[in-house]
Each structure stands twice: as C-alpha cells, then as structure tokens.
Structure 1
C-alpha cells in the first residue's frame, strides 16, 4: 500500500502541491504514481478534463501526484503489476476488478458517426446492417455498450468490421471512406471532427436512445490502495459532483446538454 516504505522514484511529469504531513486525507508517504492517456477532450497535449480533475483532487486532498503519459494498454498492465498506482477514465470490468478499485466520475455514451451520403438512408443499426456494402470501423478492444456491441457482433459475422489500433487511425479510415460509420463519444468527436476536417461529412446519430453511457472513473491499483482508501477517493469524487465542481470542469470543454449526460453516473 502507499503507506509502506519504498525507495523514492524519479519524478516524471507534473508534480502537484506538496503533501502536508498529518493532513486529514490519507495520501500515504510518497507521491501517487498516476498515468494519463491521450483521448480527445479527456487529455491531449497536457490539457483536458482528466488533467483538470486531478489538479482539483490534488488541491483538495493535498496529495502529491507523479504523472506521466502512457499508452492505454501499458497503463492496464502496470496497474495490474503494481508498477502504477492510479489512472483516469477507466471502465470497470470483472477482470479489472481483480487488481483495481474504481471511482466513477463521468458517464460516456457512444454515438454513431455516419457518412453523410449513407446517412440519407441510414439512421439505425438495422438500416446500416441492411446496407450490404457499408463497412463499420472500431478501435480494437474498445467497449461501446450492450446494444452497440451486439450490433458489432452481427457486423463481424458478415465480415463488415474493420479494426484500428487507435482513435486517430479509426478517424482516418472514416475520412478516407474506407468505413462508412464508427462509434465515438462526445469527448472525442467534439475534438476530432475538426481535427480531421469531417464536420460537414458525417452525421451524428443516437442509435441507442434508451441506453445510458458507460461509467468511467478513477482507477486505483489494489496493490497501492486499501478498500478504505478507495472509498475515501470515491467520497472526494462525490463531493466534486455535489458541489458542482465536476460540472464546471466539464463545461469548459462541452455544451451543457452533453455535460448533463456525463454527470449521469
């Protein structure tokens, strides 16, 4: 756990305000090793929702954070091995529950981004399935939601899904018309539609109006945090939601209609 004695590590990235000995919040006796990953408005080039959230938590808890940017797959591996203490915007699964606690702070839903030419006749999963030649793009290993993943299962059975290694590769395929549709989230497409010059060439459609977004949260390695400590971090997140701080952070990046959905976790 963070309270145990370990050799100090070199500081990587941004270090937040100093830990106050004897502070009420249990920060442990060393900096918390935290990794960000780049994902649209959540974090890109040192800015984003996740960065603002961690800065606010550092201010309130007086904990020190030793941060770095890492690929998402490496983050999960290091959390499982104990090489990393914490990360951001993670989705809870039974497998991940074996090595991590989760403290949700936003709910993210995937929308369908469909080529405008196809969107004239397609506005649902069934209509896309019926469009025999249309290919759909995904990022390999991404989870989208129960209904959306069921649709992708049908598409895979028809060999009409193209996998991409990351989000940028996925958007490039959409731009180059190699796929006619993708799933993406407001925190990503509000950034990437402009980045890839796609604003006028895709229609944003909600194919699952009755399905809520997937909770994303702070990820705390069980090798570093006890359940009691994890509950204390959850309480900090809940306080940020209750006093309106989370909403203020999200409104810096997204319109209020989409912020309301983010807060539904």
Structure 2
C-alpha cells in the first residue's frame, strides 16, 4: 500500500498557463490522471508539512503545464516503488538510472546527472581513494537503501562489505541517515541531492564528509514511463517535453531552486549535451 502525507491524493490540475498546446489540440489524449511514483530521495523528492516537494515534483508540475495532463503523486519505499511499476500500478517513476530490466517495463526519459558518493561520519576516518580502499582499509559500517540501482563496480564492493558483516540494507535514506546520526552506522552511499538534504535536515552537516569514488562515475538520471499504461503517443509527448526542459534550461533552474546555483552548475558541469544525446532519435 502506498503511504501518503496528511494532505494526500494531490491530484494536480496542471493545465493552467500551459506554454504549449493543450492535449485537445495535440496528437495524444491525456488520461484522467497519470500516477507518478516518488521515494525518499532528498532534494529530488521529499515530504514537508503534508506536501510533496523536490526537483522531481517541480519537473512533473512543469510536465503538466507543457502537456495539459494531470498527475497524482504516490509515495513508496524505493524497493516497493519498482515492484509497483513492474506490476503496472504506477505510470511514471522519477529520478531513476537506466538499466536493462527497467527498460523492459518503461521508456526512459533522461533529464539530469547524478553521482553516488561515499558519505561517512568523520569518526569513521576518511581520505579513501576508492570504495575498494574503504573496504580494504576501513572498519566502518555502511547502511544503503534497498531498491536503488548500484553500478556493478559498486555492487561488487557492497557484496564484499556484506560478507565482512559491515553492510546493512535499509528501506530508505531517512533510516540510513538517522542511524548515522545515532552512531548505529558509519556511512552510506548517496548522491549530492540526497545527502545534502538529509544532513541539513538533521543538522549533521559538520559531522559528515563525502567522497567521490571511481567505482561510481557520473551517470544520467531520468524518468520511466510505463510501456503498458502510457500510450505510445503520450510517451512521445512526455519524452519531447522532458527533452525540451533540458534543452531550454528549465531542469537546471529547478535544481538551482533547491541546492543553489553553484551546486546546480556543479551537477550539470560540462553542459547537457550528454543528456540530450541519450534520447533515441
């Protein structure tokens, strides 16, 4: 069952002030509502005072303005979200890396960059050159989130940590960071938009250090639209809208609202050509 905040349902009427032609004049028909799955992903998607907020939420709102379609947000633990998506009970999943299994169920629409970092409480030491170095030389325990896709090079090191009794999978990032705060874990793996929000929220920014590791290079993140539930012509409309948001700077501006202009420029360093080139011709 999905978990909603107190003011839930949140079916968004997003056709007002649309900058593009509404659905009635387009080559697609919007359903009554399109269900969008969200998870605890820091500044990408979080719950605050009974509302859903974050870059993913703002992107969906903009998607509604550009297509004239209506969306309903539904909240799940990350692992459960992809099970619901595979079972055709969620129509769009935001903030996702591409992988072969997910490509079978959905059409990927890239819009941002992401990179997992090794986040450690300073008491666990630091200066590790790689995740493998942390596994070999460190003693700290990591808590990582279930349902998150980790690159094979990262997963190999996580498997080694698990064999050594130094890894625990938890349901969400909130649990991981609260356990770090309480001293029951020493660190986690998380992109900047996730660890920044949780460390600020819990007031532990000064206690944590984060390191880029070569096993986790920068990757492209995006949304998946269900092949079973979203009509092909609507998939195409959503894809065109996301691509336009990347090309016209809307995505970068949305990230800037949450992490600040300097960190947004860091996330999109080198420009968006790699993202745009990821769209199928």
Structures share fold, TM-score greater than 0.5: yes
Greater share of helix: 2
1:47 alignment partner in structure 2:
53
Cα gap change, 1:30 to 1:131, in 2 (>3 Å): same
Gaps spanning 5+ residues in structure 1: where? 1-10
Say yes or no: does 1:14 pair with 2:20. no
How far the C-alpha of 1:174 sits from its partner, in A, is 1.6
How far the C-alpha of 1:29 sits from its partner, in A, is 4.3
1:27 alignment partner in structure 2:
29
Map of 1:1-265 to 2, 5 A cutoff? 12-18=9-15, 20=22, 22-24=24-26, 26-45=28-47, 46-120=52-126, 122-131=128-137, 133-208=139-214, 211-213=217-219, 215-254=220-259, 255-260=263-268, 263=272, 265=275
Contact 1:35 1:67 (8 Å CA) reproduced: yes
Contact 2:114 2:267 (8 Å CA) reproduced: no
2:19 alignment partner in structure 1:
none
Aligned equivalents of 1:210, 1:112: Cα separation in 2: 9
How far the C-alpha of 1:18 sits from its partner, in A, is 4.3
Aligned equivalents of 1:70, 1:32: Cα separation in 2: 16
Aligned equivalents of 1:21, 1:164: Cα separation in 2: 41
How far the C-alpha of 1:160 sits from its partner, in A, is 1.9
How far the C-alpha of 1:121 sits from its partner, in A, is 5.3
Aligned equivalents of 2:76, 2:27: Cα separation in 1: 27
Contact 1:121 1:127 (8 Å CA) reproduced: no
Cα gap change, 1:28 to 1:197, in 2 (>3 Å): closer
Spell out, residue by residue over 1:111-152, the C-alpha distance to the aligned partner (whole angstroms, 9 max, x if none). Answer: 111222333554432432233532222123422333322221
TM-score when normalising by structure 1: 0.83
Q: Number of residues paired by the alignment?
A: 254
| Greater alpha carbon shift after TM alignment, 21-30 vs 240-249 | 21-30
TM-score when normalising by structure 2: 0.79
How far the C-alpha of 1:153 sits from its partner, in A, is 2.2
| Greater alpha carbon shift after TM alignment, 187-196 vs 175-184 | 175-184
